[in-house]
Homo-oligomer: A and B are copies of this chain.
Amino acid sequence: MPNNKQTNVSVFQYDSKELKEMEGLSPEECLSLTKNKRKVTWVTLEGISESGLIQKFASSFDLHPLVTEDISHTRQRPKVEDYDEYLYIVVRMPFYNNKSDNINTEQISFILGRNYVLTFQEKRIGIFDPVRERLRKGKGRARRSGPDFLTYALLDLVVDHFFVILEKLGEKIGSMEEQVLKDPSPKMLQKIRNLKREMLVLRKSVWPLRELLLSMERESSSKNPLVKKETAVYLRDVYDHTIQVIDTTETFRDMASGMLDIYLSSLSNRMNEIMKVLTVIGTIFIPLTFITGLYGMNFRFMPELEHPLGYPAVLSFMALAIIIMLYDFKRKYWM
């Protein structure tokens, strides 16, 4: 059984009638399978750390050196390139890293030939299992259609995964906004910064996807034999979903940016609250303390001090002042 560091090669070969599944084939075996022009051959390489194997596949399938390089260097921008004999497609799929609580992206490369598809994944996370299931069940258009439809189905899965991520982010943003309004702690600043960064990661993965799908649609309408005309409408559908992902991403970006403004406003609100308390206390007691100071002076001749009603009079005056000031603060909504 393959371990996580090894590159796992799995092959599906099918037409509308039958489907064969194979594991661990060599590049040459894969190539010979594609000689059968009436069947679709789908070769998946999961875990592309073994660059030697990639090299062998590349030379077997006669890939352009730049393509081979791009497959191995997993920091490509999503794009599609037409090399006449095949299309080279590279996309980035986001996934949520639960440990570090942030979003990473993984590169997935497709080689779409006349009757075969090669897919190269950075790691193994079974992202393509739903398509495999559908192929095995033999239902739907998938089994009846060519490798371009298979590529569509796989791209569709990738775009669907964006929605999963966006939903998670949506919840996160919602709860963060609540928190910012309630308790604008310094920790929130860090969280907002991280959120913004995640939006940037997502954005960089999904914007080029839009162009990519437009290009593929254009290929199909310019009679490129690699992408059939019937597939165009399906590509249009994935395109529409991508636009929706972009829309939502931009909305979230707006919300993340707005959050800092709300944060600052919340802070200002807090400051106002704090200052009101200080001002109320100060305004009431500083003048009164002055009065007590006045009658605490040690002048020999201070007639008020001798008067038996002096103390009650001062107390009454102070009580009155407090009442008036409290009333005034109520009026100004400071309390």
Interface positions of A (Cβ within 8 A of B): 64-66, 70, 75-77, 79, 81, 83, 141, 177, 181, 183, 186, 189-190, 193, 196-197, 200, 204, 233-234, 236-237, 240, 243-244, 247, 251, 254-255, 258, 260-272, 274-279, 281-290, 292-302, 304-306, 308, 310-311, 314, 333-334
Knowing that A274-B334, A285-B286 touch, tell me 15 more A-B residue pairs with CB under 8 angstroms: A64-B233, A181-B189, A181-B190, A183-B333, A189-B265, A197-B255, A204-B247, A258-B260, A267-B268, A268-B268, A274-B275, A274-B276, A277-B279, A288-B293, A299-B305
Q: Name the distance in Å between A311's Cβ and chain B's nearest Cβ.
A: 4
CA gap between A165 and B195 in the complex, in Å: 25
Least distance between A84 CB and chain B CB atoms (Å)? 11
Given A274-B272, A278-B278, decide whether A77 and B286 contact each other with a Cβ distance below 8 A: no
Interface core residue of A141, A234, A268, A308 (most chain B CB under 10 Å): A268
A247 touches B77 (CB 8 A): yes
> Could you tell me if A311 and B299 are in contact, using CB atoms closer than 8 angstroms?
yes
The residue of chain B having its C-beta at the shortest distance from the C-beta of A313 within the complex is B299
Interface pair A286/B283, CB less than 8 Å apart: no
Q: Are A301 and B311 interface neighbours, CB within 8 A?
A: yes
Report Cα–Cα, A182/B167, bound state, in Å: 32
* A297-B314 contact, Cβ under 8 Å, with A66-B237, A204-B251, A263-B265: yes
Note all chain B residues with C-beta closer than 8 A to A304.
299
A286 to B279, alpha carbons, bound, how many Å? 11
A292 to chain B, nearest CB (A): 3
**Which single residue of chain B is at the shortest CB-CB distance from A243?**
B77
Query: Nearest chain-B residue to A256 (Cβ)?
Result: B258
Q: How far is the CB of A294 from chain B (nearest CB, A)?
A: 5
| Chain B residues near A251 (CB-CB < 8 A) | 200, 204
A272 and B271 in contact (CB under 8 A), knowing A282-B278, A282-B286, A287-B281?
yes
Q: Contacting A272 at CB < 8 Å: which of B270, B286, B298, B301?
A: B270
Min CB gap A201→B, angstroms: 9
Task: Find out whether the CB atom of A297 lies under 8 angstroms from the CB atom of B299.
Answer: no
Q: Which of B141, B283, B292 contacts A297 (CB 8 A)?
A: B292
CA distance A289 to B282 in the complex (A): 12
Query: Is B267 a contact partner of A272 (Cβ separation < 8 A)?
Result: yes
Q: Which residues of B contact A299 (CB under 8 A)?
A: 295, 304-305, 310-311, 314
Q: A189-B265, A274-B275, A334-B274 are in contact. Are A298 and B296 (CB under 8 A)?
A: yes
Find the B residue at minimum CB distance from A271. B272
Decide if A310 touches B301 in the complex (CB within 8 Å).
yes
Instruction: Please determine whether A279 and B269 come into contact, CB atoms closer than 8 angstroms.
Output: no
Cβ–Cβ contact B269 & A268, under 8 A: no
User: Which of A243, A263, A288, A334 neighbours the largest number of chain B CB atoms within 10 Å of its CB?
Assistant: A288
